[in-house]
Amino acid sequence: MKLRFFPQETAGLDTLARMADQLLAGTHTLAELLGASRADFPALAEIMRQHEGASTADFATLLTTMRTSFINPLPREDLYALGRLLNETSEILTGAAELIELYGLDRVSQRAGDQLEILSRQVELTVAAMKALNDLDSLEDYWLEVLRLAKRADHTHRVLIAELLENHSPTSFAKYRMLADQFAAASKQMRSVATQVGSIIVKES
């Protein structure tokens, strides 16, 4: 790992950690949504929008920090890429919540719950990683584990789509598939975050 001889601003890393924490809170809210009654959907979807709003505000803070800091702990392009991916994931999670609310999806299968469980684990690992970006040597296992989970998520998504096609009418299938696709997209975003971290590890070694 490269030796650094000048003090660095850590505000950017702190902001990334807060953004990751918002994602974790979002997965918890989605878990509540999957078990909630339709009457509770609007309030929980609004909580998701609040998580997204906080993430977007943090992303704006990150951009300001990168412009004003003399020495950043990581290259600006890497900080930006991580922030963008985390914020986009927050948007995807909010999209999943709004689909549940708008379509009244109160018969979500256990397989979709499995999707969310895998995604939640990816997010938990990402939270820990964002809080350890000042010690890149400790993150190689994170990188590999998130990629492994992404493969599980891909398989679960394929099986779920097949089950939905078999068990739902075309209209119902389309609604539940959109939700499954949102979960899959969020998982891919977490894989992209891990890949970005892997790229940083290689460059900074």
Q: What is the pLDDT of residues 32-84, one digit of tens each?
A: 999 999 999 999 999 999 999 999 999 999 999 888 876 777 889 999 999 99
Compute the half-sphere exposure of residue 195: CA atoms within 13 Å on the CB side of its CA: 11
Q: Radius of gyration over alpha carbons of the chain, in Å?
A: 18
Please give the model's pTM, rounded to 2 decimal places.
0.92
Rounded distance between C-alpha atoms, residue 125 and residue 5, angstroms: 30
Spell out, as residue ranges, where the chain has pLDDT lower than 70. Answer: 1-9, 70
